[in-house]
Amino acid sequence: MKKIDEYQGKKVLVMGFGISGINAAHLLVKLGANVTANDKATPKNNDIVDDLEADGIKVITGDNPISLANEGFDVVVKNPGIPYDNPLVAAFVKQGTPIITEAELGWQIFDGHLVSVTGSNGKTTTTTLTQLMIAENAKYQVKYAGNIGISFSKIAEDLGPDDTLVTELSSFQLLGAPTIHPHIAIITNIFSNHLDYHKTRENYINAKLNITRNQTKDDFLVINWDRDEWQKIAQRSQATIVPFSRLNKSHEGSYVEDGMIYWRGQEVMPTKDIRLIGPQNVENALAAIAAAKLSGVTNDAIKKVLTTFSGVRHRLQYVMEYQERLFYNDSKSTDIEATEVALQGFDRPVVLLAGGLDRGYTFEQLVPYFKKHVKAMIVFGECKDKMKDAGNQAGVPVIESENAITAVPEAWKLSEPGDVILLSPANASWDQFPSFEVRGDKFIEAVEKLTGKKEQ
């Protein structure tokens, strides 16, 4: 941990009691700040409040009182999910109070080698693969943190100058990380996500590009080279560009040719040996390989990881096989593009479970993928009628169910030996579940109840 005095004697407000917010509040006390912690909800667990207060932190719950904007805070550390049009946040913006996220705080105290990953899809898998690959050859600690569910600042506290930290960073986190400077940055892809938060696609792209804002030619931006738009986006970085591509050969980075993965013209391994299924996971592997090779990792270490790693929970996660049906949990597919790539990963007939929060989208974009890959659909949630319309356009049998749990026995009835039963909702979970993780866990529980087996 780097010693800094930036917060000594400063008055800091921490907004949000998530994992990152609680860790940030305690860290700020260690850094000499006078800390107030605020959450709009009242925690069900009183231990959270007790622990904060025991550390000398003033705690305010049950509201975001606008009066806090008049208390002279020097800095606000905001939970990434709290939008900037929140009245209290907007008041701080208006008066020019610096607003950062916990990722920025983590970067400020980090004293080692930083690799950071962002993108619309594939972030967590790429982050995990990158960390595992670098760790295979490392003499020092190699950890991961960030949007992957582990506090950046908490892990950064325990790492030294020779250690490596691989961080997954969301667009929400990056908006509040003005000085973050990874030596290696990865952009997996950019689609049109979170426009309810960012308002425009350009705002969303700009937030993602904060990952490379402070990079120089001595740093590296590893970026997907499979779309012209992403190639143009790369031109906005000052870093040395390292492309990865499943579709385009580029000797400057990692790519696929005739079923073989190459790094700068040298063979690494066949794509068929990657344990993770689907073209999207080939792309995730290519991104991780580029970062790993830039970090000095051997081909043997890369092969070991890619031939053994079976996936991140809720991200096209293999659950089990039962009576010749394969069950997959892809609850993290909260947008249309993620479900597209999930469907492309299977050469078997798919019984698809899909639906969720209605964000105003329609699903005509999925029709060609339904026609090619899906034999039947079970739809649920706020957008089930729109999802059903797309299924009807594709000529796929569609039935309605209450949610991702009740859909499991319905999917079983529609399946036959050799089929895949896939939860890939193409929508957020918040109409029925507090998170995609809960939705995926409940799906797995329903599969276990149906089969009488535990996930594998």
Domain range summary for the chain, segments of one domain joined by +: 11-100, 103-308, 317-450
Query: What is the spatial distance between Cα 261 and Cα 60, in angstroms, rounded to a whole number?
Result: 53
What was the pLDDT predicted at 271?
Answer: 97
Using pLDDT thresholds of 50, 70 and 90, give the confidence band for residue 312: confident
Q: What is the residue-averaged pLDDT of the chain?
A: 95
Domain 317-450 falls in which CATH fold? Protein-Tyrosine Phosphatase; Chain A (3.90.190)
Identify residue 358 by its one-letter amino acid code.
Answer: D
Token reading at 305: 């990881």
> How much is the pTM?
0.82
Using pLDDT thresholds of 50, 70 and 90, give the confidence band for residue 194: confident
Residue pair 425/345 in contact (Cβ under 8 Å)? The answer is no
What was the pLDDT predicted at 409?
Answer: 98
CA atoms within 13 A on the CB side of 23: 21
What was the pLDDT predicted at 191?
Answer: 86
Query: What is the spatial distance between Cα 234 and Cα 253, in angstroms, rounded to a whole number?
Result: 14
Q: DSSP for 7-68, please give it.
A: TTT-EEEEE--SHHHHHHHHHHHHTT-EEEEEESS--S-HHHHHHHHHTT-EEEES---GGG
219-230 pLDDT tens trace = 999 999 999 999
122 annotated to a ligand binding site: yes
120 annotated to a ligand binding site: yes
Query: What is the spatial distance between Cα 258 and Cα 88, in angstroms, rounded to a whole number?
Result: 55
What was the pLDDT predicted at 135?
Answer: 97
Residue linked to tokens 């506290």:
157
Query: What is the spatial distance between Cα 207 and Cα 198, in angstroms, rounded to a whole number?
Result: 9
Query: What is the spatial distance between Cα 195 and Cα 131, in angstroms, rounded to a whole number?
Result: 30
Residue pair 15/77 in contact (Cβ under 8 Å)? The answer is yes
Beta bridge partners of 261: 256, 269
Q: For the packed helices 299-308 and 123-137, what is the interaxial angle rounded to 10 degrees?
A: 130
Average pLDDT over residues 104-111: 97
Q: What angle do CA 448, 45, 147 make, to 5 degrees?
A: 65
Nearest alpha carbon to residue 440 among 314, 334, 342, 311? 314
Residue linked to tokens 């409940």:
442
What was the pLDDT predicted at 148?
Answer: 87
Distances (CA, A) of 91 to 102, 146, 226: 20, 27, 41
Q: What angle do CA 171, 61, 152 make, to 5 degrees?
A: 35
Residue pair 149/170 in contact (Cβ under 8 Å)? The answer is no
Query: What is the spatial distance between Cα 140 and Cα 137, in angstroms, rounded to a whole number?
Result: 9
Query: What is the spatial distance between Cα 379 and Cα 389, in angstroms, rounded to a whole number?
Result: 10
Average pLDDT over residues 332-336: 92
CA dihedral (443, 445, 448, 450) positive or negative: negative
121 annotated to a ligand binding site: yes
123 annotated to a ligand binding site: yes
Q: What percent of the chain is modeled with pLDDT above 70?
A: 100
| Other Cβ atoms within 10 Å of 298 Cβ, number | 13
Does residue 86 have a pLDDT over 80? yes
Token reading at 327: 């069950």
Token reading at 245: 């591509």
C-alpha torsion angle, residues 105, 108, 112, 113 (rounded to 10): 80
The CATH number of 103-308 is 3.40.1190.10
Instruction: Categorise residue 265: left if φ over 0, alpha if ψ from -120 to 50, beta otherwise.
Output: left
The architecture CATH gives domain 11-100: 3-Layer(aba) Sandwich (3.40)
Query: What is the spatial distance between Cα 454 and Cα 445, in angstroms, rounded to a whole number?
Result: 9
* Distance in Å from the first CA to the final CA of the chain: 38
147-165 pLDDT tens trace = 988 999 999 999 999 999 9
| Other Cβ atoms within 10 Å of 133 Cβ, number | 28
What was the pLDDT predicted at 222?
Answer: 98
Which has the minimum average pLDDT: 49-53, 207-211, 309-313?
A: 309-313
125 annotated to a ligand binding site: yes
Identify residue 374 by its one-letter amino acid code.
Answer: V
Identify residue 442 by its one-letter amino acid code.
Answer: K
Query: What is the spatial distance between Cα 325 and Cα 453, in angstroms, rounded to a whole number?
Result: 13
Token reading at 133: 């690959």
What was the pLDDT predicted at 197?
Answer: 82
310 annotated to a ligand binding site: no
